[in-house]
């Protein structure tokens, strides 16, 4: 695999291979003896994190992953303000220029849908060895987030088939949610329950994708009912900064709501949360949202190992 | 010691131990042979510098200290703008999330009093191994600055007891000054002379602390008299950005004022200065303000060694 | 050589020595066996990149160069906003303070002409071992850019004497162009053709420098004629952000214009471009502008090796 651009590029086999690699790396990391070898495995290689939109969490995740493999991370926190983009340079020229410094990988975050694909195209056109990893392109994709979500499901409930997934919150704007749905639809007997206020429903592109692939889904505004049937509850924030409003459905999950949830189920959230999950359930063993972040580092380490070798 | 949160947490014994460690590290650093070992002593460990308020000097001090021990520093220059805080995430959640990447230490700068304590609380509540170091929490504390100040006094005049300390400038707003007074009051026969315009006098909390602990102090507006008696002159900038105004007392120290100062005394300043110390005395051997910064790196190396092992 | 402050400081011999070093380092870098040794040659040393004006490209070039030699790069992307400069600290004090952390080199970018010289002066006055490299001081100089340009000429056409150089675009504001002209005038039988709209002509200082040193030059607005005679075409962007306007002469180079250019000639540009070179000629082997950037990393590695040893 050269570039990581979108969730759809991964076949089921590739996903399973990636997760086995992730488990392997995690095993090495957690073994004091073996950790040393792991931490020099990509020594001498460089990772550039070019963030046109600030996102310190994603950046720290990638930079930690790189550093834990011995790579040197070099970044810009806000390329939109700090780079030649200010002077009117195209993204293609910027990427073309950065490739001259010979980074093994460029992790790109951009506000524009398709930015990572543009970047990959210029890399390939000129034959550079640099890999592009899409770390979010506006309302487009954030494939490493989707992969870490999927890895979390696998790790938490032990399987990726036969799952009822309740996806709730701002489904209209959730890039994360959309990528996850694409990825999960590669597996068997997945059922989706989409829970959102009427004005924040899942977009037609996803709905059509599910119909085409004959994947079961329902749409509801009844949270209690949804929580009862879920194996995985994937919760999201209402993105008020993108104009989303929710004044119709209460989507808050706390101790009381967790009584409805199966003992073997898990609650996930890409974070940040702004009240839709109460901190009172952070210690509940079914709350997997912080473990999700931890899984992100290991998944990204596996991806870096894959594209940088 | 797990976290470094406030000056008061250190006992006299702990301070003396820390300064011995600092001297030891300094010795290793300055010996070309031994430096190599020092520079790999925390190899493989990661330091996060999360600065909600920009402060490149403090950040470079910590990052240099970390790098000189072989740690990998990863930072954000302005987390207030570049992180999930923008989306309304609580500090607790942000710290909780950053801990998932397994940094050995998070160096936190924040505009809000108590931020570092909040951070430490969430770390402890969930049992993470990450240490929190407070690198300034608004008008609250900046304990590593206070420690480097104290270390400078020890190094420059050879003792921490029997000292007359003249503290001058913006005493109402100087976080540094307040932390230093707390720390020094753990030692014997310290006398303070507080020199400031009437509107920028030391706050009641410190005054009461001194009274309770029976520590001698006087307040004055007479600089000449104060300079004559000082063993340590600790000078500060009037913080106009916080609304401080000084139009009553001239607090400028230059060649002329230094004639009043004892030959064995020392002039300190946390810097930046904006005119209250003239550059004409930078070469005076009693001017210790740049050596203070150098001491800061070594003190922080000792603290990192302590919390990250 | 202690500091790198301006193009004029280099003698012809020093330039030739630097380019031999650059070729040598490049050879090591491109040899998988020898690369390892190169990448640890400055291990344990620290580079500070203090950028008062953001410029992610120059910063990444220096940081990559440093990292590829085993140095640890620590930077600020926008010291004007993130440092003590906000509180009114002088540049001299800031540099004086940063030196206390013992960086082997400070790479300084500043908006003010003469900033790097000021920095070097304070370093020398107090006897620090830190080197200063000027990475651009406003309308002043950007010597490492000039050196990489010269190295590119040498590498692309094999010589630095007997060259006709067509310099086109915004000659009034192009710091890069001015530095290059200074450097090239140290070589034999150089002829310049300056091509610009009347309002953006080369400044008198350069014109006088050429007259004094008896170097041939012509000024023209006829692009076609100029392209035909060129061995090197050095193209630049009209700096509209500095108020430059060009509404008289078409300075766009595309496939059609390249028909006029000699087969052994080369087209260079410091980038970013904003339309004055069409992407349709990026694959033309005479287009050297991206190779220029690559050469920049190697030139800077050679400079770092030189000043940090």
Predicted confidence (pLDDT) per residue in C1-55, tens digit:
899 999 889 999 999 999 999 999 999 999 999 999 999 999 999 999 999 988 9
The SS3 of residue C169 is coil
- The reply to whether B81 and B121 lie within a common domain is yes
For residue C228, pLDDT over 90 is answered with yes
- Which letter does DSSP use for residue B103 in this model? -
Count of domains for chain B = 2
Q: Please name the residues in contact with A206: beta carbons below 8 A apart, sequence gap of 6 or more.
A: A178, A181, A182
Based on the fold, state whether residues B269 and B299 are members of the same structural domain.
no
Note the pLDDT of residue C82. 76
Residue A309's pLDDT is 85
Residue A53 and residue A134 in one domain: yes
Low-confidence ranges of chain B (pLDDT < 70): none
CB A68 to CB B46 under 8 A? yes
C54 vs A83: CB contact, 8 Å cut-off?
Answer: yes
> Residue C246's CB: how many other CB atoms inside 10 A?
17
Please state the φ and ψ torsions of residue C179, each to the nearest 5 degrees: -60, -40
Say which residue, C176 or A155, is predicted with more confidence.
Answer: A155
**8 Å CB contact between C70 and C42:** yes
| Chain A residues within an 8 Å CB radius of C59 | 76
User: Does B64 sit within 8 Å of C101, measured CB to CB?
Assistant: yes
Comparing CB atoms, the residue among B56, B59, B272 nearest residue C88 is: B272
* Residue of A60, A71, A151 to mutate when probing chain B, most B C-beta within 10 A: A60
Could you tell me if residue C238 is inside a domain? yes
Touching subunits of A (3+ CB pairs, under 8 Å) are B, C
> Residue holding tokens 């160096």?
B107
pLDDT in tens, chain A (309 residues): 899 999 889 999 999 999 999 999 999 999 999 999 999 999 999 999 999 988 999 999 999 999 999 999 999 998 888 777 788 899 999 999 999 999 999 999 999 999 999 999 999 999 999 999 999 998 888 999 999 999 999 999 999 999 999 999 999 887 888 889 989 999 999 999 999 999 999 999 899 999 999 999 999 999 999 999 999 999 999 888 778 888 888 999 999 999 999 999 999 999 999 999 999 999 999 999 999 999 999 999 999 999 998
Residue of C nearest to B79 (CA): C82
Tokens 């230490």 — which residue?
B105
Which residue in the list C3, C109, C110, C186 is annotated as catalytic? Answer: C109
In this predicted complex, what is the ipTM? 0.96
Q: Is there a single domain that holds both residue B135 and residue B161?
A: no
The answer to whether position C1 is within a domain reads: no
Q: B229 and chain C: CB distance < 8 Å anywhere? A: no
CA angle B105, B108, B112 (to 5 degrees): 150
Q: Indicate whether B42 and B100 sit together in one domain.
A: yes
- Clarify whether residues C272 and C304 are in a common domain: no
When CB atoms are compared, the residue of C74, C76, C86 closest to B73 is C74
Q: Which of C81, C89, C101 sits opposite B60 (nearest CB)?
A: C101
Kindly list the residues from chain B whose CB atom is less than 8 angstroms away from the CB atom of residue A155.
none
Q: Which of C28, C35, C52, C60 to mutate to test the interface with A (most CBs of A within 10 A)?
A: C60
Disruptive mutation site among A54, A84, A86 for chain C (greatest number of C CBs within 10 Å):
A84
Chain C positions touching A48 (Cβ under 8 A) are: 60
Residue of C nearest to A127 (CA): C283
- Judge if A135 and A176 occupy the same domain: no
Dihedral of the CA atoms A294, A296, A299, A300 (nearest 10)? -120
Cβ distance A56 to B76 less than 8 Å, yes or no, reads yes
Question: Residue with structure tokens 């046109």?
Answer: A52
C87 has catalytic annotation: yes
| CA-wise closest residue to C226 among C255, C193, C201 | C193
Residue C2 in domain: no
CA distance B84 to B94: 7
Give me the active site residues of B, please: 57-58, 87, 109, 142
Closest residue in chain C to residue A77, using alpha carbons only: C77
Q: DSSP 3-state assignment of C151?
A: helix
Residue A166 lies in a domain: yes
Subunits adjacent to chain C (3 or more Cβ pairs under 8 Å): A, B
CB-based contact C67 A82, cutoff 8 Å: no
DSSP lists the bridge partners of residue A75 as A49
Query: Nearest CB to A294: which of B86, B87, B100?
Result: B100
Separation between Cα atoms, residue C305 and residue B278, nearest integer Å: 37
> E strands of B33-146, at which residues?
46-51, 72-76, 105-110, 131-137
Instruction: State chain B's maximal CA–CA distance in angstroms.
Output: 57
C58 is catalytic: yes
Q: Is residue C75 located within the same domain as residue C109?
A: yes
pTM of the model: 0.96
B297 touches chain C (CB under 8 A): yes
pLDDT tens-digit map of B236-286: 998 887 788 888 889 999 999 999 999 999 999 999 999 999 999 999 999
Does the residue C232 lie in any domain? yes
Length of chain A: 309
Please check whether residue B300 touches C, CB under 8 A. no
- Neighboring chain B residues of C92 at a CB cutoff of 8 Å: 279
58-87 in chain C: CB under 8 A from chain A: 59-61, 63-64, 67-68, 73, 77-78
Examine the pLDDT at C208 and tell me if it is beyond 80: yes
Is the previous residue joined to C272 through a cis bond, with omega within 30 degrees of 0? yes
Q: Are B94 and B168 members of one domain?
A: no
Nearest to A268 by CA among A234, A302, A297: A234
Of A84, A101, A126, the CB nearest to C61: A101
Nearest in space to A309 (alpha carbons), one of A105, A116, A148, A62: A105
Burial of C249 (0-12, 13-18, 19+ CB in 10 A): middle
pLDDT of residue C171: 93
Cβ count within 10 A of residue C291: 15
Same domain, B16 and B77: yes
Interface of A with B in 19-48 (CB under 8 A): 35-36, 39
Identify any residues that bridge with C51 across adjacent strands, giving them in sequence order.
C109
Separation of alpha carbons A173 and A111, rounded Å: 14
Interatomic CA distance for residues A215 and A207, integer angstroms: 10
Please report, for the domain that includes residue A96, its CATH number: 3.40.50.1370
Q: Within its chain, how far is the Cα of A30 from the centroid?
A: 23
| Best CA proximity match to B264, nearest among B232, B224, B293, B289 | B232
Q: What is the DSSP letter of B4?
A: B
Nearest CB to A57: which of B83, B88, B102?
B83
C101, C83: one domain: yes
Residue of B nearest to A293 (CA): B100
Domain that holds residue C248: 146-288
DSSP C207-250: HHHHHHTT-EEEEES-HHHHHHH-SEEEE----GGGT----S--
Mutant choice from C40, C42, C82 vs B, greatest count of B C-beta within 10 A: C82
Q: Across the interface, do C84 and B54 touch by the CB < 8 Å criterion?
A: no
Looking at the DSSP bridge assignments, the partners of residue B35 are none
Q: Does B88 touch chain A (CB under 8 A)?
A: yes
Nearest CA in chain B to A269: B97
Residue C59 falls in the annotated catalytic set? no
Sort out which chain B residues have CB atoms less than 8 A from A64's CB and list them. 46, 74, 101-103
Q: Are A264 and A158 in contact (CB under 8 A)?
A: no
In angstroms, the CA C86 to CA C128 distance is: 25
What DSSP state is assigned to residue A36?
Answer: H
Does the distance separating the beta carbons of C93 and B273 come in below 8 Å?
yes
- Identify whether the C-beta of residue B153 lies closer than 8 Å to the C-beta of residue B163: yes
Residue A110 CB coordination number (10 Å): 24
Residue A2 in domain: no
A59 and A194, same structural domain? no
Place of tokens 């009347």: C198
The whole-angstrom distance between C36's CA and the closest CA on chain A is 8
In a domain, A127, yes or no: yes
Please indicate, yes or no, if residue A1 is contained in any of the structural domains. no
Q: Collect all residues of chain C within an 8 Å Cβ-Cβ radius of residue B296.
A: 100
A vs C, Cβ pairs < 8 A, gives 81
Q: Write out the DSSP string of A50-82.
A: EESS--HHHHHHHHHHHHTTTPEEEEES-HHHH
- The predicted pLDDT at position A80 comes to 82
């Amino acid at each position: 695999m050269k570039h990581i651009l979108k969730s759809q590029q991964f076949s089921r086999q590739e996903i399973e291979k990636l997760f086995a690699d992730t488990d392997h790396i995690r095993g090495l990391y957690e073994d004091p003896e073996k950790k040393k070898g792991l931490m020099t495995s990509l020594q001498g290689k460089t990772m550039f994190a070019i963030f046109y939109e600030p996102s310190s969490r994603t950046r720290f995740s990638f930079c930690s992953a790189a550093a834990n493999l011995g790579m040197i991370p070099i970044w810009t926190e806000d390329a939109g303000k700090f780079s030649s983009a200010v002077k009117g340079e195209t993204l293609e020229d910027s990427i073309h220029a950065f490739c001259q410094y010979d980074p093994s990988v460029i992790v790109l975050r951009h506000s524009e849908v398709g930015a990572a694909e543009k970047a990959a195209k210029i890399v390939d056109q000129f034959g550079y060895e640099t890999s592009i990893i899409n770390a979010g392109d506006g309302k487009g994709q954030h494939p490493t987030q989707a992969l870490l979500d999927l890895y979390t499901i696998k790790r938490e409930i032990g399987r990726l088939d036969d799952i009822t997934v309740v996806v709730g919150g701002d489904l209209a704007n959730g890039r994360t949610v959309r990528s996850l749905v694409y990825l999960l639809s590669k597996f068997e007997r997945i059922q989706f329950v989409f829970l959102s206020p009427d004005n924040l429903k899942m977009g037609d592109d996803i709905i059509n994708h599910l119909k085409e692939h004959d994947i079961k889904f329902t749409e509801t505004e009844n949270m209690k009912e949804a929580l009862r049937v879920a194996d995985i509850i994937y919760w999201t924030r209402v993105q008020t900064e993108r104009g989303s409003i929710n004044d119709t459905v209460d989507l808050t999950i706390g101790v009381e709501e967790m009584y409805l949830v199966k003992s073997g189920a898990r609650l996930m959230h890409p974070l940040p949360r702004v009240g839709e999950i109460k901190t009172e359930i952070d210690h509940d063993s079914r709350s997997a949202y912080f473990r999700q972040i931890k899984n992100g580092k290991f998944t990204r380490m596996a991806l870096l190992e894959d594209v940088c070798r």
